[in-house]
Every structure is written in structure tokens, then in C-alpha cells.
Amino acid sequence: MLLRVRRDTDMLMKALLPLLAALALNLAPAMAAEKGDKKSGKQPAEPAALPKPDAEGFLPLFNGRSLAGFVQVGGHAKYRVEDGQIVGQCVPNTPNSFLCTERHYTNFILEVEFKVSPTLNSGIQIRSRYYDHPQTYEWQGKTINVAAGRVHGYQVEIDPSPRAWSGGIYDEGRRGWLNDLKARPEAGKAFKQGEWNKFRVECRGDSIKTWINGVAGADLKDGYTPSGLIALQVHGVGNKVELLEVRWRAIRVKELL
């Protein structure tokens, strides 16, 4: 009887030895790392702190250092970070380019400062979309086809031309002008050529309002797209090789209930 028990115990130990050896190999690196941390005095890394709203309830949309939180869609314009600004540079023979937020927004206040080359059209998308497949929209008896990957939706116009419609609302890639500034010449005059300008955009339900340098611009009632991404547009320039840029800074957003 004792001989049989001993034989069974020996067989069990032989079966367990490979498992124990494998366990020891897996635990060794972790134990060594823990030992090394104790010797060096290092503490485990803590997750990066999320940004906190400022006194007015705004959060930065751009961290001033990188394009984290954005993705480029559409054309191949060049986006870079320089001196705490996002710089969009035109590239010949490419369509409109968009630097899009990774998340969507519904009701919000957006504030952003911008400076643009005098001959470059640009804009800021709000409540906009793009899809992997073609989309079809119906509007006032018309069918609108939007290609796959095409950014479309409300755009707050940046227009340094003599027309001066900066702050007007254009439905990019879809319905065209919804609220230009023909009836708001004072808003057109508020734009400062070659200098930093500031937009304020308020989206509340079907109401979209804009201000440029504190002067009221567009006042639109339209609930066609209630939510979507925010994006920075660099307009296509055809075969022009002239260096044209648009710059954005102090981009912040306050979400509303």
C-alpha cells in the first residue's frame, strides 16, 4: 500500500514540474521589475490627467503641442503644430482637406482665433459628418448624393476676399449657402485682413449663431444635422503652387445641456 502511494506521488510530481517551471519563468520578469523599481525608488506611472474646464466652463479642443484628438480626412493639405497653433498649408492638385475631431458634438459654444492668407478660402466645420459609404439626402424635392469619405455639413466660412462673408454658414458638400452675410455688412467689415480674428459659434437645438470679433454674423434656424464633428478646413487651390496657409489657435469648446 505504501509503495503504491509513493509511486502515485512520484507520478504527480513529475506531471507538475513542467507547470511549475513555466510559472516561474512568467513571474521572473515581473519580480525583477518590481525589485528594480524598489531599488530605484520609481513609482508606477499614473494615467495622464484629463483637462479641466476653465472658469467659464470651456475645455481646450487643441492641446497646443500635437494633433492628438484629430484625424485628417479628404485631401492632402499639410497640417502641423507651430508656436501653439495649428497651421494648415495648401498643396496643389488635391481636394478640400479637413482636420476633424475624433468625437461628435451636439449643443455647444465654440471659440477659435484664426489668421488666413489673403487669397485662401477656408472654414470651420460644425455638426459635420463623413461616412465609409456614399450617402443620399433629400432636400426641397432634390436628391443630394455625397461620396464616401466626403466631409459634409455646416461650415462657418473664412472668407478674406472682397466679398467678406467670414462668419456666414455654408453647407459644405451638400446644400450650399444657408446664411450668407449680404444682410450683415457690419460683420463683413469686422474681419481683419492679415491679422488674428476670433469666431464665436453657438449651436443650440436648431439655432446656429456666429460672431466675428464680437460682431453678430449668421443667425440660422436649421435642424437638418443636429450633431457631428468639428473640423478645420484647408480649401483646395487647384494647380496653384503659391504658399498659402491658415492658422488656428485658442480653440476651445463648451458643451451645453
Q: Are 128 and 155 in contact (CB under 8 A)?
A: yes
Report pTM: 0.80
Give residue 240's pLDDT: 87
Quote the distance between the C-alpha of residue 243 and its chain's center: 24
Q: How far apart are CA 150 and CA 134, in angstroms?
A: 8
Which ranges constitute the DSSP H helices of 82-237?
185-190
**Residue percentage of the chain with pLDDT more than 90:** 76
pLDDT at position 9 over 80: no
**241 vs 221 pLDDT, higher one:** 221
Q: pLDDT tens across 99-122, in order?
A: 999 999 999 999 999 999 999 999
| CA-based torsion, 130, 99, 161, 90: positive or negative | negative
Q: How far apart are CA 71 and CA 178, in angstroms?
A: 27
The arithmetic mean of pLDDT across residues 23-45, rounded, is: 46
Give residue 16's pLDDT: 46
pLDDT at position 19 over 70: no
Q: CB under 8 Å to 181, separation ≥6 — which residues?
A: 164, 165, 166, 167, 168, 187, 188, 217, 218
Q: pLDDT tens across 177-221, in order?
A: 999 999 999 999 999 999 999 999 999 999 999 999 999 999 999
Give residue 242's pLDDT: 87
Give residue 28's pLDDT: 44
**Residue percentage of the chain with pLDDT more than 70:** 81
Question: Where are the strands (E) in the chain, listed by range?
Answer: 59-60, 70-74, 78-82, 85-89, 97-101, 108-116, 122-129, 135-139, 142-146, 152-158, 169-172, 176-179, 197-204, 207-212, 215-221, 229-234, 245-255
pLDDT at position 6 over 60: no
Give residue 115's pLDDT: 98
What pLDDT band is residue 43 in, cutting at 50, 70 and 90? low
Q: What is the maximum span of the chain, computed from C-alpha positions, in angstroms?
A: 106
Please state which of the ranges 9-23, 49-63, 73-87, 226-240 shows the lowest mean pLDDT. Answer: 9-23
